[in-house]
Structure 1
């Protein structure tokens, strides 16, 4: 991370920049309607973090802190949509936003943080392990809604 970098919570004013950054995550995704974006940023327990180089949003992830009735009622965190602009990869920006999200989960009382990826690249898996995640701790299963 450079001295000119700033890491902060994202808000409604950052939606357009975040949607542009998401093109580096899933290039074919259609943007959501504006009301959906407002609903996402207004959802309690869901935070988006962004790393800026000057005015440019170059890395982001989101964190959901989910209430829980096990583990003594302690919540857990889920990190999703980790993305770094292709021109800024390999410089620690992704790690910075993930480490920030983890710190925020711990501050919210979460007892664990879960992250899943659909990437099959072992280098991506090694990246998440370098952030402290253990790929052997749990197994994730995914089901997707059938097309209607």
Structure 2
């Protein structure tokens, strides 16, 4: 879809770069060690999952924007899957350049090509600028009401 060879699926050797980018998504999270055996195992499991796509945009030799697309099998809508976009983040020094929009649009494209009947994204942001950004990516607000429950840990 995109004529930008910088937008692509993540590669196995890029775990450390992704973890660095995630500092801009959840700055209060404790830092994960990319050499930790459990983290490596989780990483490989994620990469091997055909229903999970980690989309990245590389600029200046580093991952500067990313989102995760998860395809979910479904027994409604004639058995068509649906998709969820999560963990949308752009490095703070690379914002307002369209990189976030590119990874989201690629996720939407993959969902459509995977015969999904819809793709959903939730945001905790209430900022009008953020909501408008997602609308400009082709997503509609106000169609559903989201609920969430967090668990400790």
- TM-score (normalizing by structure 2): 0.88
Tell me if structure 2 keeps the 8 A contact 1:4–1:53. Answer: no
> What secondary structure does 2:85 align onto?
strand
Counterpart residue number, 2:20: 20
Could you list the per-position Cα deviations for residues 20-49 of structure 1 after superposition, in whole angstroms to 9, with x for gaps in the alignment? Answer: 001111112122733222222222300101
Choose which of 103, 106, 111 in structure 1 pairs with 2:112.
106
User: Which residue in the other structure is 1:93 paired with?
Assistant: 99
- Give 4+ residue runs of structure 1 displaced > 3 Å after superposition: none
Find 2:58's aligned residue among 45, 52, 55: 52
What are the superposed Cα offsets for residues 2-27 of structure 1, whole Å, 9 maximum, x if unpaired?
A: x9861110032111100000111111
How far, CA to CA, are the matches of 1:25 and 1:41 in structure 2?
20
1: distance between equivalents of 2:45 and 2:71? 17
Aligned to 2:36: none
Q: How does 1:1-148 map to 2 (within 5 A)?
A: 6-30=6-30, 31=32, 33-145=39-151, 147=152
Give the CA deviation at 1:85.
0.5
